[in-house]
């Protein structure tokens, strides 16, 4: 009887990135034995199921970065995938709105970046044309990105999951990885569902990717700091204020896009998200607090260096979190007619933001390799849009470094 480990590759995490990786592994290598280990009871339970649902087109990102390269391709791939798999998707376009003269140079820069990145159809529009696109937005000038779309990423994850299973992949839910040991020539994963024996590992653990990397003996050189994004929803009778997606010109010093209006495929209009430091990695509510995790954050030198650089933005975000009036004021820059009464509390998401020991917020996707392992250490927005392309990229890496036939 062969004593080979029952799995060739085990992926940690059934978010969009982990499931896409498993799907592409099996598509290219149908005989490979692939497992996915997920601690929660269903797919896309963390970032992949708590996001804005925007299929980004690739405007914001530094040319040449992974984000820039993956997003343009990722948008096209995601839109096609949804159409082919009956996942409702709508290419509604996005209007990035400058409301003050000092934002105009940054809007020009966005057009330049988007064009350099190969985003098609971008158009700088004046206030009149902006009003035709979004009649209630207060633009003095705007960048129109007609290719941006919306989707419910949970439905995308459900299709990834079906395909993984249909190709023979094993997906274990309610199975938390707690320790990794090397035994003989194999890697043994100790989980809440018993041992899983495997040859190779891919870490797609999102908010816990640094912890999982360390379990596998890899020093990630960064720490995941959780940032909660809180949303409001627009009251039904005010939804006509938003046709598609209305975004502000982002603050270049901050990796988040700023609170925006998003028409969703779930049938309502969202406003948000802000970006506040969360006191727990899965801290979806203000009251969620983990003493051990807070001590971990406070003991990380990178946190203090980040705080020194970003304290102004941090305070602004905190104010917006605790004072609805602050949130509403930000939204009124985009649509002056919006009032506090138009907004009901909505959901939230928690971003896994990698921070270096020097205090820099890692902007680009970061994927590292260890012996027999690959680690997705930073996959923030537009990671959902790019999930098909990231999965393919990980399989390219795996073929080389795991020597997959």
Q: Return the residue matching tokens 């030198």.
A: 301
Cβ 203 vs Cβ 374: under 8 Å:
yes
Q: How far is the CB of 375 from ligand FAD (least distance, A)?
A: 11
Q: Which is nearer to ligand FAD, 82 or 205 (CB)?
A: 205
Report the residue from 92, 196, 379, 394 that binds ligand FAD according to the rule CB under 6 A: 379
Q: Is 52 in the site for ligand FAD (CB under 6 A)?
A: yes
Cβ 377 vs Cβ 371: under 8 Å:
no
Report the residue from 29, 141, 351, 375 that binds ligand FAD according to the rule CB under 6 A: 351
Report the residue from 7, 26, 46, 355 that binds ligand FAD according to the rule CB under 6 A: 46
**Pairs from 283-286 (Cβ < 8 Å, separation ≥ 24):** 283/226, 283/228, 283/350, 284/50, 284/228, 284/347, 284/348, 284/349, 284/350, 285/348, 286/228, 286/321
> 164-193: which residues touch ligand FAD (CB under 6 A)?
176-177
Q: What is the rounded CA–CA span in Å between residue 118 and residue 69?
A: 9
Backbone phi, psi, residue 52, to 5°:
-80, -10
Burial class (CB in 10 A: 0-12, 13-18, 19+), 102: exposed
Q: Is 381 in the site for ligand FAD (CB under 6 A)?
A: yes
Q: Is 391 in the site for ligand FAD (CB under 6 A)?
A: no
Contact code string over 256-295 relative to ligand FAD, x by CB under 6 A: -----------------x----------------------
Output the six-digit token pair for 249.
Answer: 């010109």
Q: Which is nearer to ligand FAD, 243 or 366 (CB)?
A: 366
Report the residue from 9, 89, 205, 271 that binds ligand FAD according to the rule CB under 6 A: 205
Q: How far is the CB of 351 from ligand FAD (least distance, A)?
A: 4
> 10-29: which residues touch ligand FAD (CB under 6 A)?
12-18
Q: Are strands 366-370 and 186-191 parallel, antiparallel or unpaired?
A: unpaired
In this structure, what DSSP letter does residue 169 have?
-
Report the residue from 51, 148, 198, 373 that binds ligand FAD according to the rule CB under 6 A: 51
Q: Is 45 in the site for ligand FAD (CB under 6 A)?
A: yes
Q: How far is the CB of 209 from ligand FAD (least distance, A)?
A: 7
Cβ 26 vs Cβ 169: under 8 Å:
yes
CB count in 10 Å sphere of residue 324: 13
Q: Which is nearer to ligand FAD, 141 or 175 (CB)?
A: 175
168: Cα within 13 Å, side-chain hemisphere: 14
Output the six-digit token pair for 75.
Answer: 């948008």
Q: What is the rounded CA–CA span in Å between residue 358 and residue 360?
A: 6
Q: How far is the CB of 97 from ligand FAD (least distance, A)?
A: 17
Q: Which is nearer to ligand FAD, 130 or 224 (CB)?
A: 224
Burial class (CB in 10 A: 0-12, 13-18, 19+), 11: buried
Q: How far is the CB of 200 from ligand FAD (least distance, A)?
A: 16
Q: Is 54 in the site for ligand FAD (CB under 6 A)?
A: yes
Q: How far is the CB of 150 from ligand FAD (least distance, A)?
A: 8
Q: Are strands 149-151 and 89-90 parallel, antiparallel or unpaired?
A: antiparallel
Radius of gyration of the chain (CA): 21
**# of chain residues touching ligand FAD (CB under 6 A):** 43
Q: Which is nearer to ligand FAD, 205 or 374 (CB)?
A: 205
Q: Which is nearer to ligand FAD, 33 or 56 (CB)?
A: 56
Report the residue from 382, 392, 394, 395 that binds ligand FAD according to the rule CB under 6 A: 382
Strands (DSSP E) along 184-222, which ranges? 186-191, 194-203
Report the residue from 201, 207, 246, 306 that binds ligand FAD according to the rule CB under 6 A: 207
Give Cα 321 distance to the centre of its chain: 20
Q: Which stretch binds ligand FAD (CB under 6 A): 44-52, 88-96, 119-127, 325-333?
A: 44-52
Q: Is 96 in the site for ligand FAD (CB under 6 A)?
A: no
CA nearest 25: which of 210, 157, 168?
168
Q: How far is the CB of 189 from ligand FAD (least distance, A)?
A: 9
Cβ 269 vs Cβ 119: under 8 Å:
no
Residues of the shown chain interacting with ligand FAD in the complex, contacts defined by CB under 6 A: 12-18, 37-40, 44-48, 50-54, 56, 176-177, 204-208, 212, 229, 273, 349-351, 376, 379-385
């Amino acid at each position: 009887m062969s004593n080979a480990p029952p799995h060739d590759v085990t992926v940690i995490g059934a978010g969009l990135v982990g499931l896409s990786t498993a799907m592409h592994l099996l598509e290219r290598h149908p005989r490979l034995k692939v497992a996915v280990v997920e601690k929660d009871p269903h797919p896309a339970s963390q970032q992949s199921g708590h996001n804005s649902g925007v299929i980004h087109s690739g405007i914001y990102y530094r040319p040449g970065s992974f984000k820039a390269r993956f997003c343009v391709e990722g948008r096209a791939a995601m839109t096609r995938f949804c159409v082919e798999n009956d996942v409702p998707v709508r290419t509604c376009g996005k209007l990035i709105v400058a409301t003050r003269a000092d934002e105009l140079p940054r809007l020009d820069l966005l057009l330049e970046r988007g064009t350099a990145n190969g985003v098609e159809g971008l158009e700088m529009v004046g206030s009149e044309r902006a009003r035709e696109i979004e009649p209630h937005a207060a633009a003095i000038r705007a960048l129109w990105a007609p290719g941006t779309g919306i989707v419910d990423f949970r439905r995308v994850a459900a299709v990834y999951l079906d395909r993984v299973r249909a190709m023979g992949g094993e997906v274990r839910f309610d199975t938390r990885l707690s320790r990794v040991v090397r035994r003989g020539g194999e890697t043994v994963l100790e989980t809440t569902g018993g041992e899983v024996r495997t040859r190779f590992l891919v870490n797609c653990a999102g908010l816990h990717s640094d912890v999982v990397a360390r379990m596998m003996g890899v020093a990630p050189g960064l720490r995941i700091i959780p940032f909660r994004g809180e949303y409001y929803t627009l009251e039904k009778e005010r939804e006509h204020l938003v046709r598609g997606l209305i975004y502000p010109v982002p603050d270049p010093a901050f990796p988040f896009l700023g609170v925006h209006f998003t028409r969703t495929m779930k049938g309502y209009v969202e406003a948000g998200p802000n970006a506040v430091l969360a006191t727990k990695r899965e801290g979806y509510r203000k009251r969620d607090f983990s003493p051990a995790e807070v001590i971990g954050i406070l003991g990380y030198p990178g946190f203090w260096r980040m705080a020194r650089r970003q304290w102004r933005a941090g305070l602004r975000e905190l104010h917006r979190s605790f004072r609805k009036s602050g949130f509403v004021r930000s939204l009124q820059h985009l649509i002056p007619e919006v009032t506090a009464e138009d907004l009901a509390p909505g959901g939230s998401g928690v971003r896994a933001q990698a921070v270096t020991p020097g205090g820099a917020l890692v902007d680009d996707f970061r994927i590292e390799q260890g012996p027999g392992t690959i680690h997705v250490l930073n996959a923030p927005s537009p990671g959902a849009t790019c999930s098909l392309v990231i999965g393919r990229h990980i399989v390219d890496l795996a073929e080389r470094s795991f020597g997959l036939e």
